[in-house]
Structures are given as C-alpha cells and as structure tokens.
Structure 1
Amino acid sequence: MTYQTTVGWSLFTSGIVTLLLKALPYDSLYWGILLLFVGIVVLVRRQL
C-alpha cells in the first residue's frame, strides 16, 4: 500500500514539476536545480 502511494505521489509531483518548468521564465535547468535542492532539503528535514 505504501509503495502505491509513493509511486502515485511521485508521478503526480513530477507532472506538476514538468508543467512548472514549461510555465516558469528563465532556463528550466536553473529551476530543475532549485527544485532538486528543495526536494533534498525536504527529505533531509523529514528524516530528522
């Protein structure tokens, strides 16, 4: 059950991120790096 929920959220958020990268100004590489950094921070904070 947890696996399906994780996969569902992963697909959902990746779809949102894809739409954001298309809609946001500037190069998508910079937004991708920023979102990756934010994701790492969220994961690290959740582990603590």
Structure 2
Amino acid sequence: MSSTATSTFDVGTLAIDMLDLKSKRAVWRSNVSGTIPSSPERLNEGI
C-alpha cells in the first residue's frame, strides 16, 4: 500500500534596486525569495 501527501504554500520574491538619480544608473540591487508566512505578525518579523 502506498500513500501520497501534498502541501500548498505561497512563495514570494522581494527585489530592491537603489539608483543614482544624477546618473540614472543602478548602484545596488538585491533580491530574496522564500515562503510567505500565513500570519501578518510573522510576515512583519521577516522584513
């Protein structure tokens, strides 16, 4: 006998770019991906 288990979770990506307004060029870029917590309190802790 076999069984299968499934899970559903949300995944998100946060991307941040910093620009030099005089030259209009990117000076820094970062991004992170991960699962999104279901509770707003846990979401704010991760930011």
**TM-score normalised over the length of structure 1:** 0.25
* TM-score after normalising by structure 2: 0.25
The structure that has the greater radius of gyration is 2
Q: Whose relative contact order is higher, 1 or 2, with alpha carbons under 8 Å and at least 6 apart?
A: 2
Structure having the higher strand fraction is 2
